[in-house]
Amino acid sequence: MTAPKLSLTTTTADEATADAVIIGTVQDSAGVALAPGSERVDAAFGGDLAEILRTVGATGKQDEIVKLPGMGRIPAGLVVAAGLGRSNGDGPTAEQVRRASGAAARALTGTRRAVTTLSTVDLHAAVEGTLLGAYRFTEYRSDKGDAPVERVDVVAPEAGAAKEHRATLKAATAIAEAVRTARDFINTPPNDLYPATFADRAAALVKDAGLSVEILDEKALRKGGYGGLLGVGSGSARPPRLVRISYQGPKARKKIALVGKGITFDTGGISIKPAASMDEMSSDMSGAAAVVALMVLAAKLKYPLEIVATVPMAENMPGGSAYRPGDVLTIYGGKTVEVLNTDAEGRLILADAFVRACEDGPDYLINVATLTGAQMVALGRRTAGLLGSDDLRDRAAAHAKATGEGGWPMPMPEELRGDLESKLADLANVTGHRWGGMLAAGIFLREFVAEGVPWVHFDIAGPAFNAGGPWGYTAKGGTGVPVRTIAALLADIADNG
C-alpha cells in the first residue's frame, strides 16, 4: 500500500493546517508529562495540556496513544499524544521517538494530513518510525480497509540548517523504503514468491535502480558445481536460483560482499518440520529480502563502496527427488558436507554463496539469514544473534543497538568444531546434539569464509517475522530486520573503512 508523503515544515504545530497534530508524552514521577516540541500546542491549551491528558488517563507509557479534540484551540481537529515511555536525563532516545512515531502513524489510518512534533526531538527517527508504522500489506485482501495517513508534515528541528534537515529526511526516507521493500518480499505468499519469481522480481527492482544483475538457473548452477543449492532445491518442482547484484559507488573505498539466505519456503525437507506454524516458513527468505533491499538503498544513497550481493534462492521440499539425511554434497569450491539433517539447509546454500562471494576479494563479508531455531531459544524473537570476526561482529552489534533493531554478539567456541566432524565428508551440517545450535551454525559457515576476510553473520530467525500483533513501528508479518542496522554499518565503513 502507498506510503505517506512526508515533507519538512517550519510552520509551528499550533498553527499548522492539518487533521491531526502529533505530540509526545513521557512518564515521570508526577504522572504524564509533555515531551519537547509540544510547547506551542500546550500554550494553545493555556498550559493545561498535561493536566487534561492526566484527567483522561494518559500515562505516557511506551506505545500509548491518547486522542483529544482540538476544541478550536488549534487549527487541527485532533491532538494525538504518543507515549515515549520513561525518559532518562538526556531526554527521549531515538528508539523511543521511532516507536512513538510508528504508533501514532498506525493510529491515524484513514487520516488525510497530520503534522508531527516528534521530529523536533529526533528528525531521522521520527521519519523512519512514521513510514514504518504506516506500513500495511493488503495486496491479497479484497477489502483493503482504510488507507494509511496520506501526508505527514514533519516540523523541522530548531538546530541545524535547512539543507542538513533535507538530507536527513532523504536518507531516513530511503532507509525506511528499503525496510518496506524487504517487508513486501517477506509477506508475499510462497505460491507467488518461489526461486524463479523471486529472482525475477529482485532483478527488475535492482535494474530500475541502475544496478547490474546476473541470474544463474539450475543448468548454470549444475555447470558451476553449486552442490549446496542443487541439493537443497532437489526436492522441489521449482528449481533453485543464484542472483548476483553489483553496485559500484563513486570513489569506492572498500569492497563489500553481501549474502542473504533465500529459502522461499522451508518444510524441513525429509527431516520435516511440525505442522504448527509451518506457514511462517514463507519468511525463510528474509535474509535475501534484506540484501536485495539494501542494494537498492546503496544506489539511492550513493555509498562510496563497491558492493556485490550473492543471493542463493531455493525451496526446501520433501519430494521424491529430495536430498536425504546421509547424502554427501559437494559445495562450490570442492569442500564436502555430510547431511545429517535436511532442515539445516540454510547453511548449505550459504556455503555455496560464501565461497563464490569471497572469490571477488571483498574487504568485508556480511551475511543475513533466518538460520536457527536455537537463536530464538537463546535470545528470543526480537534480538538477533551476531557471529563472526570479533571486531566486525562487535561493530555491527553496536549499530544494531543504536538503530533499535537489536542484536547481541555471540561466541564461536572451538570445541563445537569437533562436533561437526563427519564419518564420510569434510564436515557434517549439524553437530548431532541440541547444544549451542546457533553457535555451531556460525562455526559451520566460517569454514567457507576465505582466510583473512572479516565477516559478520546475522541470525535473524526470530526478529525477521512478527507473528503477534503490531507494536511501535513494527507491523504484523515481515519486519525488514536488519536492513537499518546494515545500512548504518555500510555508512560506517564508507566513512571509516
- Flag whether pLDDT at 480 surpasses 80: yes
Residue whose C-alpha cell reads 508523503 in the numeric block: 5
Element (H, E) at 224: helix 218-224
| Pair (193, 312) in one structural domain | yes
Instruction: Give me the pLDDT at residue 169, please.
Output: 98
The mean pLDDT of 247-254, rounded to a whole number, is 96
What mean pLDDT value characterizes the chain? 97
| Pair (82, 31) in one structural domain | yes
| Pair (96, 236) in one structural domain | no
Kindly give the interhelix angle for 286-301 and 483-496, rounded to the nearest 10 degrees: 40
| Pair (355, 476) in one structural domain | yes
Q: What is the CATH number of the domain that holds 373?
A: 3.40.630.10
CA pseudo-torsion sign 68, 73, 74, 76: positive
In a domain, 83, yes or no: yes
- Flag whether pLDDT at 89 surpasses 90: no
The mean pLDDT of 152-171, rounded to a whole number, is 93
| Pair (209, 97) in one structural domain | no
In a domain, 175, yes or no: no
Q: Are strands 20-28 and 113-116 parallel, antiparallel or unpaired?
A: parallel
- Flag whether pLDDT at 382 surpasses 90: yes
Instruction: Give me the pLDDT at residue 75, please.
Output: 96
Confidence of residue 158 (pLDDT cuts 50, 70, 90): confident
In a domain, 160, yes or no: no
- Flag whether pLDDT at 234 surpasses 70: yes
| Pair (199, 346) in one structural domain | yes
Q: Report how far residue 294's alpha carbon sits from residue 182's, in angstroms, rounded to the nearest whole number.
A: 9
| Pair (281, 149) in one structural domain | no
Instruction: Give me the pLDDT at residue 129, please.
Output: 98
Q: What is the CATH number of the domain that holds 75?
A: 3.40.220.10
Confidence of residue 275 (pLDDT cuts 50, 70, 90): very high
> DSSP labels for 16-64?
--SSEEEEEEEEETTEEEEPTT-HHHHHHTTT-HHHHHHHTT----TT-
Instruction: Give me the pLDDT at residue 95, please.
Output: 98
| Pair (110, 224) in one structural domain | no
The residue count of the chain comes to 497
Instruction: Give me the pLDDT at residue 1, please.
Output: 65
The mean pLDDT of 183-197, rounded to a whole number, is 98
Confidence of residue 360 (pLDDT cuts 50, 70, 90): very high
Catalytic residues, which ones? 273, 347
- Looking from the CA of 102 toward its CB, the CA atoms found within 13 Å total 25
| Pair (432, 295) in one structural domain | yes
* 212 close to 325: Cβ distance less than 8 angstroms: no
In a domain, 465, yes or no: yes
Q: How many domains does the chain have?
A: 2
In a domain, 193, yes or no: yes
Domain hosting residue 67, numbered range: 5-155
Confidence of residue 81 (pLDDT cuts 50, 70, 90): very high
The mean pLDDT of 435-445, rounded to a whole number, is 98
In a domain, 28, yes or no: yes
In 3D space, the residue among 454, 453, 462, 467 whose CA is nearest the CA of residue 482 turns out to be 462
Higher pLDDT, 30 or 16: 16
In a domain, 169, yes or no: no
* Percent of the chain's residues with pLDDT above 70: 100
Instruction: Give me the pLDDT at residue 330, please.
Output: 98
Instruction: Give me the pLDDT at residue 126, please.
Output: 98
Instruction: Give me the pLDDT at residue 6, please.
Output: 98
Instruction: Give me the pLDDT at residue 258, please.
Output: 99
| Pair (475, 413) in one structural domain | yes
User: If you count DSSP H runs as helices and E runs as strands, how many of each does the chain have, helices first?
Assistant: 15, 21
Indicate the burial class of 401 (C-beta count within 10 angstroms; 0-12, 13-18, 19 or more): middle
In a domain, 243, yes or no: yes
* 150 close to 4: Cβ distance less than 8 angstroms: yes
Q: Which residues, at least 6 apart from 443, have a Cβ–Cβ distance to it below 8 Å? A: 412, 416, 417, 420
For the record, the C-alpha cell of 130 comes out as 512514521
- pLDDT for 44-55, tens place per residue? 999 999 999 999
